[in-house]
Amino acid sequence: MWGILRQKVVAGGGSPLVRIRPAVSALRSYSSAAKEMTVRDALNSALDEEMSADPKVFLMGEEVGEYQGAYKITKGLLDKYGPDRVLDTPITEAGFTGIGVGAAYYGLKPVVEFMTFNFSMQAIDHIINSAAKSNYMSAGQINVPIVFRGPNGAAAGVGAQHSHCYAAWYSSCPGLKVLTPYSSEDARGLLKAAIRDPDPVVFLENELLYGESFPVSAEVLDSSFCLPIGKAKIEREGKDVTITAFSKMVGFSLKAADILAKEGISAEVINLRSIRPLDRATINASVRKTNRLVTVEEGFPQHGIGAEICTSVVEESFGYLDAPVERISGADVPMPYAANLERLAVPQVEDIVRAAKRACYRSMPMAAAA
């Protein structure tokens, strides 16, 4: 990184604080998909292509270089780009995050990896007070083009201190953009958009999705591919109930929709992709069509993403609702370590199915059953 700083790599030789125009992008789909790619490879290829295209992009974090990344997301990048652009850091999140923010002030484009977003708590002052607020506090004179990325939310058997979902935490802060990829298409297109964006982006991945494969089209594999920030994707169209989800819960919601279809309920599944900004227009348009809403998330229920979506729908589409909104979330407890309790603490496919049935008045309410 210091080698890059010495070179003062600034496009056109101008001030490094000039706002960098984000790449123009378009919403894509799985059309003409010809091959499959894991989420891990999608993230790796996006990093590789953006580093190749822009010498100001560099990576830093614990084990991102010599070890190839704790989850092998950065595999091969140290050999290709060298230690000036792939920096192994000490175990000091506050230290290397602060260095990354300072480099972004200078006009570079750091991608900071947290081994888990639980560890980002060590660096939250830099993320919120330094990165998120600087553009506003400088009256637009300072841009902070930095990406904070890593696994977020529950994995498996790692306990409360490694299982927290931070989507609601970071999405409550003005100045940040918060992205939550589900598929390989999401991972490639959204990470590219995040790196090209002139503002700080929190990029929340899921450890359990890294090894999953998804179909990708030639369009998605093109190096110019990029998804728009702030735009959700309708993964499955339906007419009876809207289900909103992000990250791993999109897959659970699609499985629930398959089960519901066998019982005559047509569910529309929305992959939020972007938590901040939130695509309220797509959500409300869907609710106005289906007249019912189920929100799904892994995080805690109080002040969650589902609560924000509920508020948006009540404010903008209340007259279209034919049933109370159903909100599915993680349990309001720190994540248990025991496998049986852990399963009870996070939403399952059957929870989504039951909620959708309640919204469609296809099952007896729990209070009535009691």
Q: Per-residue pLDDT for 322 more than 90?
A: yes
Residues annotated as part of the active site: 93, 162
Could you give the percent of the chain with pLDDT greater than 90? 85
Q: Give the whole-angstrom CA distance, residue 35 versus residue 104.
A: 36
Q: Give the whole-angstrom CA distance, residue 126 versus residue 95.
A: 9
pLDDT band per the 50, 70, 90 thresholds, residue 363? confident
Q: Say which residue the tokens 């999401």 belong to.
A: 186
H or E segment at 334?
A: none
pLDDT band per the 50, 70, 90 thresholds, residue 161? confident
pLDDT (mean) for 334-357? 95
| Three-class DSSP category at 22 | coil
Angle between helices 280-290 and 305-317 (to 10 degrees): 60
Q: Give the whole-angstrom CA distance, residue 321 versus residue 294.
A: 12
Q: What was the pLDDT predicted at 4?
A: 46
Q: What was the pLDDT predicted at 83?
A: 96
pLDDT (mean) for 53-67? 96
Q: Give the whole-angstrom CA distance, residue 188 versus residue 168.
A: 23
pLDDT band per the 50, 70, 90 thresholds, residue 155? confident
Summarised one tens digit per residue, pLDDT across range 266-294 is 999 999 999 999 999 999 999 999 999 99
Summarised one tens digit per residue, pLDDT across range 72-118 is 999 999 999 999 999 999 999 999 999 999 999 999 999 999 999 99
Q: What is the pTM of this model?
A: 0.88
Give the tokens for residue 182. 């589900």
Q: Per-residue pLDDT for 8 more than 80?
A: no
Q: Give the whole-angstrom CA distance, residue 179 versus residue 170.
A: 10
Name which of 104-118, 153-167, 186-200 the model is least confident about.
153-167
Q: Per-residue pLDDT for 34 more than 90?
A: no
Q: Is the dihedral of CA 143, 149, 153, 158 positive or negative?
A: negative
Most confident of 2-16, 28-42, 55-69: 55-69
pLDDT band per the 50, 70, 90 thresholds, residue 27? very low
Q: Per-residue pLDDT for 162 more than 60?
A: yes
pLDDT band per the 50, 70, 90 thresholds, residue 61? very high
Could you give the percent of the chain with pLDDT greater than 70? 89
